[in-house]
A and B are shown apart, each in its own frame.
Chain A
Amino acid sequence: MIDNKYLEKITDYIENTLSKTDKTEFELYMNKDSEFKKIVEDIKINTLTLKKLEDIEGPSDFVYKLNQRIDEYENNTIFNQLSSMVSNIFSKSDTFTLLFGASLILIVSFSFFKFSSFGGYNNIVDTNDFNDSSIAINDSDSLNVEDPVLLLGNDK
């Protein structure tokens, strides 16, 4: 049976960190007990072998994969934050909801009037912009609706 007192000192003995007195005492005990001596020797060999184990090289795409995961996380976070912000606003403020709804209706209505015939802006070309006399039909021509020929030119 190994004395615990010495068992606890094996690593310190191997690493040579025992005080001079402790080291002498340890060696005295070790030399008296051959089984203990064998244990110390075996542990010393195992320790040396463990120290010889080298670092394992990680895969070359390790950092790339990690950055990809982080980017994904960040993108999801931004999206989730926006979603929760919007849902928070809508769930907490009825006034805001009403204002938002009203604004939306106004925008839609405005867009509808701007691009529909009600506003008189449905012509692709605004004839008021024609100042070129060569292509404009003069007022007198437009008045002679009973004589369509006149509208085409001065053939008379």
Chain B
Amino acid sequence: MTNNRVTDEVLIKEFQNGNRNSYTQLVTRYRDKIISFLYRYMHDMDSAEDLAQETFFKVYLKKDSYKETYKFSTWLFTIASNLAKTELRKLKRRKTSSISDINEDGSSENIFVDEDNTEKSSNNESKILQKALSELEHDYKIIIILREIQELSYDVISKILQLPLGTVKSRINRGKLKLREILMNYGVKNYK
């Protein structure tokens, strides 16, 4: 089966030549991915949407800065991660995070071994994991999101974050270890 989908790189080229419809196609194509990425990073839906708007607006303004040497998605995620990093830094100055909203009854323990209600258990897992992820330091968090949730290659992540491949691999392992520590601090002790 042939894939007739126009590539991102063709669309951005058309947009650079003045076709705004191509820009809208790119926005529609990446809207959910960017919002999800930003939500995982910010742990706040409003901020995620605002930053996603800002990301695509920057793409519009800086369209001529895009060079074909990188994939469009790499460029897009670079803009989004830079904006998110700046925003989180601003927010951290204003408030400190709390974990009190995870489980009001403190029942996070054993949450990963609830086999009677798989759907409920799965939702709880995601919720706790998402919260734990938000507690991670930026350097670890961003790599884990890009790799494990957005499923980008190490090579692409290394380009987005402008880090050597070895550092990316090392951070992903250390990040996962730290994520496990955070989860254990939440009381998640018994994994399946």
Please list the residues of chain A having a beta carbon within 8 angstroms of any beta carbon in chain B: 7-12, 39, 41-43, 45-47, 49-59, 62-63, 65-67, 69-70, 73
Looking at chain B's contact residues, the main secondary structure is helix
Which partner residue on chain B sits nearest A59 by CB separation? B49
Which partner residue on chain A sits nearest B39 by CB separation? A56
Chain B 138-165 per-residue mask, 1 if CB under 8 angstroms from chain A, else 0: 0000001000110100000000000000
With an 8 Å Cβ cutoff, the count of chain B residues facing the other chain is 42
User: Do A47 and B57 have beta carbons less than 8 Å apart?
Assistant: no
Question: Is B122 engaged at the interface, CB distance under 8 Å to the other chain?
Answer: yes
Question: Is B77 engaged at the interface, CB distance under 8 Å to the other chain?
Answer: no
User: Do A49 and B126 have beta carbons less than 8 Å apart?
Assistant: yes
Question: Is B33 engaged at the interface, CB distance under 8 Å to the other chain?
Answer: yes
Please list the residues of chain B having a beta carbon within 8 angstroms of any beta carbon in chain A: 24, 27-28, 31-33, 35-36, 39-40, 45, 48-49, 52-53, 56-57, 60-61, 112, 122, 125-126, 129-130, 133, 144, 148-149, 151, 169-170, 172-174, 176-177, 179-180, 183, 191-192
Which partner residue on chain A sits nearest B53 by CB separation? A66
User: Do A56 and B180 have beta carbons less than 8 Å apart?
Assistant: no
A123 to B120, CA, bound (A): 90
Total A-B Cβ pairs within 8 A: 93
A53 to B32, CA, bound (A): 13
A54 to B149, CA, bound (A): 8
A54 to B39, CA, bound (A): 12
On whether A63 and B31 interact (CB within 8 A), knowing A41-B191, A46-B129, A46-B179, the answer reads yes
On chain B, the residues within 8 Å of A43 by CB distance are 176-177, 180
Neighbour of B60 across the interface among A9, A12, A58, A70, CB < 8 A = A70
